Chain A
Amino acid sequence: MLALKELLGSKLKFTLIALVIGLVVSLTMVTSAMSEGLLTGMSGAKSSLEADALVFQRATYPTLERSILSADDLEIIAQTPGVASVYGVGHTYASVSSTAEAFDVRVFGLGDRLDQLPIVEGTGAIGPCETVVDITAKLEGVELGDTLTLTPVDAKLTVVGFTEDRRYVMVPTLFVDLPTWEGLHVASVLGRIEEEGGTDAAATAQMEDDFAGSASVAAITLDEGVTLEDVQDAFGDDYTAASPDEAARSGNGMPEMILAVGGIQWVSITIGALLVGVFFYITTLHKTGQIAAIKAIGASNAHLYRQLLLQITVLVAVATVLGIVVALGAGAGMPPMMAFDPDPGRWTVAVLAVFATAYVGSLFSLRSILKTDPATALGRSSEA
């Protein structure tokens, strides 16, 4: 009764603090969504691969761009005890030059698991020289049925479908079958070699032969009961295995980015906790006379603290609703290319963290409640 009556009796005061806490909550949520958005934008194509682990060439982990596995490597990996199935994943760079303005893309070749892409438009059935493209390419003017010209390899791909959340290093990803990727990759490497002084036909043939059946990394599933550590032990130093999510989070610059955004989130939550703590502490200090009188007529410390916790719960709940509305509004107002990917799980964690830290902040007030001497209501201190 006391807690809610006081909230209703001092609307302006509590509304203002709810607004401030709400903004802190929204900041926490926006940074969480941006963190998730950055992760998806930077490595969604990699982290979403259907596999228990990605296997990298020796000493190249976590750089997908440097790893290359030959057909023999893929066979060795497939024969490793504990490995249930393998498909190759190829990666290469390209630019699309057939749109009004050229834009960079990453090309991913998928072995026999082309069906794993979530299709939001068109089809997922990819044939030779066909591609499923991340939907963000639409912002560059790409449409279903377009024929994309890739440079510098001078290849053409027909867009048969669009997928989502499959960007890599913040640019759209083009998914192709593995033979198409192989052709693009070899052409890309040969193109670079030619730029540096050319090569001969024999070397070209040798390279095409070397790359036949290759991939950048191997996506593997494990036998039941087999752990990643077991398989890594079996690989020894020859290959490095990591889960797709771990590989994505370990990519160049990713740990630093995740740390920075995580730091902003924790600073926000800490500021929120301090705000709640200091606000209620000052409020409690302002009403020590009233607390002393209520204690003098029989209120226990536990009762008063329960009332305080109820006030904090109501206030933070209102602030959380406000924070969610502001965060969703901010997300809706962001440009489509902006990394913003709200994750209900992470938002729940953020809200729980705000509640938990608010309760920790309430300990300042508890101290004040405990120290308030009911005898002062009669103009005397029991420690006099």
Chain B
Amino acid sequence: MFEVKHITKTYGTGRTQVTALDDVSFRLDRGRLLAVLGPSGSGKTTLVSIIAGLLQPTSGEIIIGGKQVHLRSAAEAARYRRTEVGLVFQEHHLVPYLTARENLLLVPHLSGRVTRAHKERADTLLADFGLTERAAHRPSLLSGGERQRVAIARALMNEPEIMLVDEPTSSLDTERGLQVVELLKQQIHERAMTCIMVTHDPRMAGHADEELHLVDGKVVDNGARAAVEAGIQKS
């Protein structure tokens, strides 16, 4: 079980204070894919950044498997991301001078040691994502869809408690974007992981198990969804 409780994030003070997230709470069971939707500036990326330990919330708690996440230093936050979190970025952010396989092995390398088990896991993931033939290729030789699949496989390398996926299809066409989301969903279900996917595309969100809509930093109820979706489609 993954839980976000009363997360608020404000920037600045006094008249210049901006509230990016306002008392956001939700729960997510293992094996579920949650799509976070909202227009630009609604707080989606801030929410993911806080869950990833990249930002400290002004108030509120994050609970993974019944334990509250306490990150007192940058080093502690880095360790948390290495062990508990799998991150997929809007841009694939693969290391350009590493092959697809080496990009996957980068994750255990950051933890200090790459074992035979890690190498086997990397090979398995590459096979699961249909990338065995591309394992020795650098990102510059991969297609956009292949790069994003390598990025997702990399996020799964450390067997994270929670996957955080930021606009994974924004650089792909609709067909390839849907393929990536389907693959992601399949992996989440198979591995019984928790996944939060930020998207502004309702078609992608339609493949998620659950949806969370943010507007101006607040979770909006179902009644307000129609208006939100209308706003998104206009944007």
Chain A interfacial positions (CB closer than 8 Å to B): 1-2, 5-6, 8-10, 289-290, 293-303, 374-375, 377-380, 382, 384
Contact = CB atoms under 8 A, between A and B. Distances in A.
Nearest to A1: B109
B19 interface: no
B45 interface: yes
Nearest to B86: A297
B33 to A, nearest CB: 18
A295 B78 contact: yes
Interface stretch (B48-56, B61-69, B207-215, B227-235): B48-56
B74 A301 contact: yes
Give the most central of A298, A302, A303, A380: most B CB within 10 Å: A298
A300 B56 CA distance: 17
B81 A297 contact: yes
Nearest to A296: B87
Interface string B78-108: 1101110101011101011110001001110
Given A297-B106, A377-B93, 7 more contacts: A5-B95, A5-B98, A9-B97, A294-B110, A375-B54, A380-B49, A382-B54
Nearest to B95: A290
Contacts of A289: 91, 93
Given A297-B107, A298-B81, A299-B110, A5 B45 contact: no
27 contacts: A1-B102, A1-B105, A1-B109, A2-B106, A2-B109, A5-B102, A9-B96, A289-B91, A289-B93, A294-B106, A294-B110, A296-B81, A296-B93, A297-B82, A297-B87, A297-B154, A298-B79, A299-B78, A300-B74, A300-B75, A374-B54, A375-B55, A377-B89, A378-B49, A380-B49, A380-B55, A382-B49
Contacts of A9: 96-98, 138
Given A298-B82, A299-B110, A2 B95 contact: yes
A298 B111 contact: yes
Give the dominant DSSP class at A's interface.
helix
Given A375-B49, A379-B166, A380-B46, A298 B95 contact: no
A353 B48 CA distance: 47
B26 interface: no
B45 A298 contact: no
A298 B107 contact: yes
A299 B95 CA distance: 13
Interface size class of B (residues with CB under 8 A): 35 or more
B45 A379 contact: yes
Contacts of B87: 296-297, 377-378
Which of the listed residues B55, B56, B81, B90 has the most CB atoms from chain A within 10 Å of its own CB?
Answer: B55
Contacts of B95: 2, 5, 290, 294
B94 to A, nearest CB: 8
Contacts of B78: 295, 298-300
A382 B56 CA distance: 8
A290 B158 CA distance: 20
B93 A293 contact: yes
Contacts of A1: 102, 105-106, 109, 114
A374 B87 CA distance: 12
Contacts of A382: 49, 54-56
Given A5-B98, A6-B97, A297-B87, A378 B45 contact: yes
Given A378-B89, A380-B49, A384-B11, A5 B97 contact: yes
Contacts of B55: 375, 380, 382
A110 to B, nearest CB: 65
A290 B96 contact: yes
The 10 closest A-B CB pairs, nearest first, are A9-B97, A298-B82, A293-B93, A375-B54, A298-B81, A300-B78, A299-B110, A380-B45, A298-B110, A6-B97
Contact of A379 (B85, B90, B158): B90
A378 B79 contact: no
A158 to B, nearest CB: 71
A297 B92 CA distance: 12
Nearest to A376: B54
B222 to A, nearest CB: 27
A378 B87 CA distance: 9
A375 B89 CA distance: 11
A294 B46 CA distance: 19
A378 B96 contact: no
A296 B97 contact: no
A354 B75 CA distance: 32
Interface in B1-42: 11
A373 to B, nearest CB: 8
